[in-house]
A and B are shown apart, each in its own frame.
Chain A
Amino acid sequence: MELPLAVTVGVLFGSGVYLVLQRNLLRFVFGLILMSGGVNLALFVSGRLTRGQSPFVPEDRYTPLEGIANSLPQALILTAIVISFGLTVFALVLLLRTYERLGTVQTHEMILRLNDPLPDTGEPLKDRRPPQPAPYGMHREPPEGPVDPFEGVTDSGSGEPS
Chain B
Amino acid sequence: MSWLLASPILIPLAAAALAFALPDRRNAQRVLSVGGSAALLVASIMLLVEVSQNGMVVLQAGGWAAPFGITLIADHLAAIMVVISAIMAFATAIYALADIDSGREGLGYHPLFLVLVTGINGAFLTGDLFNLYVWFEVLLISSFVLLTLGNRRAQLEGGLKYVAVNLVSSLFFLVSIGLTYGLTGTLNMADLAIALQAAPQGMVTILAMLFLIAFGIKAAIFPLFFWLPASYHTPPVAISAIFAGMLTKVGVYALIRAFTLLFTQDVGWTHTLLLWLAGATMLTGVLGAAAQNEIRKILSFHIISQIGYMIMGLALYTPLALAGAVFYLVHHIIVKANLFFVAGIIRKVAGSFELKQVGGLYRHAPLLSILFLIPAFSLAGFPPLSGFWAKLVVVLAGVEVASWPIVVVALVVGLLTIYSMTKIWQAAFWSPAPEGVEFKGPAPKRMMVPVALLATLTVVIGFYSQPFLGLAEASAAELLNPAIYIEAVLGPEAAASYVAPILDGGRP
Contact = CB atoms under 8 A, between A and B. Distances in A.
A120 B168 contact: no
Interface string A63-98: 000000000110010011001001100110011011
Interface string B281-309: 00000000000011001000000000000
Interface residues of B, number: 54
Contacts of B160: 25, 94-95, 98, 110
Contact of A80 (B174, B238, B294, B297): B174
Contact of A152 (B103, B175, B182, B233): B233
The 9 closest A-B pairs by CB, nearest first: A46-B182, A136-B103, A138-B103, A43-B178, A159-B101, A153-B154, A159-B236, A98-B156, A46-B178
B400 interface: no
B153 A138 contact: no
Nearest to A35: B171
B344 A87 contact: no
25 contacts: A25-B160, A32-B168, A35-B168, A43-B177, A43-B181, A46-B181, A72-B181, A76-B130, A79-B130, A80-B174, A101-B151, A110-B160, A120-B153, A136-B107, A138-B101, A138-B103, A139-B151, A151-B293, A154-B294, A154-B352, A155-B152, A157-B154, A158-B348, A159-B101, A160-B348
A143 to B, nearest CB: 14
In the complex, which of the residues B104, B153, B234, B237 has the most CB atoms of chain A within 10 Å of its own CB atom? B153
B485 interface: no
B191 to A, nearest CB: 13
B101 A32 contact: no
Nearest to A110: B157
Interface string A30-55: 00100110110011011110000000
Interface in B71-122: 99-104, 106-107
Interface string B217-235: 0000000000000000111
Contacts of B174: 36, 39, 43, 80
Contacts, number: 149
In the complex, which of the residues B141, B178, B181 has the most CB atoms of chain A within 10 Å of its own CB atom? B178
A contact face: mostly helix, strand, loop, or mixed: helix
Contact of B163 (A86, A94, A110): A94
A147 B193 CA distance: 53
A161 B297 contact: no
A34 B174 CA distance: 14
A46 B175 CA distance: 10
A51 to B, nearest CB: 18
Contacts of A138: 101, 103-104, 150-151
Contact of A136 (B106, B145, B235, B353): B106
A161 B101 contact: yes
A145 to B, nearest CB: 12
A20 interface: yes
A127 to B, nearest CB: 13
Contact of A94 (B100, B159, B175, B236): B159
Contacts of B352: 154, 156
B276 interface: no
Given A43-B181, A120-B153, 10 more contacts: A38-B175, A42-B179, A43-B177, A46-B182, A79-B130, A95-B160, A136-B106, A152-B233, A157-B236, A161-B103
Contact of B294 (A46, A87, A110, A151): A151
Contacts of A122: 151
A122 B103 CA distance: 13
B507 interface: no
A10 B34 CA distance: 49
A20 B153 contact: no
Contacts of A98: 156-157, 160
A161 B105 CA distance: 12
A136 to B, nearest CB: 3
A160 B148 contact: no
B37 interface: no
Contact of B101 (A28, A97, A120, A160): A160
A91 B144 CA distance: 9
Interface string A105-137: 000001101100000101000000000000111
Given A35-B171, A154-B354, A83 B134 contact: yes
B364 interface: no
